[in-house]
Amino acid sequence: MVMGAHQCKNPAGASEPPRPSWGTSGSAIRSDFGASVGTLIDAASADPRFQTLTRAIVAAGLAETLNQNGPFTLFAPTDTAFGKVPPEILSDLLKPWNKDKLTSVLTLHVVEEGLTADAIESSTIKTVSGEELNLRVTAAKTTIGNATIVETDLTTSNGIIHVIDEVLLPASTD
């Protein structure tokens, strides 16, 4: 069962903190690619911040899936985030014979629901990979796993992109 905004699990008795002021400007960062952007893949490939992500999605054979109707939420690591991954690991993941490993990394960044920033709350959420990740909302920032969401609600025809500053890695990389 895939969990989205209305299926998130809050810890028992936890109260929701005030909505965060994300970003350095002190206000929530909101963007919209605009109506002509197309799908998640169209938007990512057109944005120079996501060239490594786009290359990885194509290498894993996931472009067709992420071009479908959705809705999807993509927690998209930037090229800078991929730059934090040791080069030998990234290079290894992008090799054709490691397609399964690459797919397990990439599907950790996707939720099968259009999850806007306003719907995000401290909870766990199940990704397309089947793993659950912790979402944590504080007054200062919102995180998913080890990554901070640095830009929200980049809207496409089949979902939403939230920009993150780290690549999410599966619990087991064996």
Domain ranges of the chain: 20-164
**Type and span of the H or E element at 73:** strand 72-77
DSSP 3-state of 84 = coil
Q: Which CATH architecture has domain 20-164?
A: Roll (2.30)
Reduce the secondary structure of 87-119 to three states and give it as a string: HHHHHHHCCHHHHHHHHHHHHHHEECCCCCHHH
DSSP for 18-46, written as a single string: PPP--STTSS--B----GGG-SHHHHHHH
**What tens-digit pLDDT sequence spans the chain (174 residues)?**
233 333 333 334 444 333 333 333 223 333 444 444 789 999 999 999 999 999 999 999 999 999 998 899 999 999 999 999 999 988 899 899 999 999 999 999 999 999 999 999 999 999 999 999 999 999 999 999 999 999 999 999 999 999 999 999 887 654
Q: What is the pLDDT of residue 109?
A: 96
Using CA atoms, how far apart are residues 103 and 115, in angstroms rounded to an integer? Answer: 21
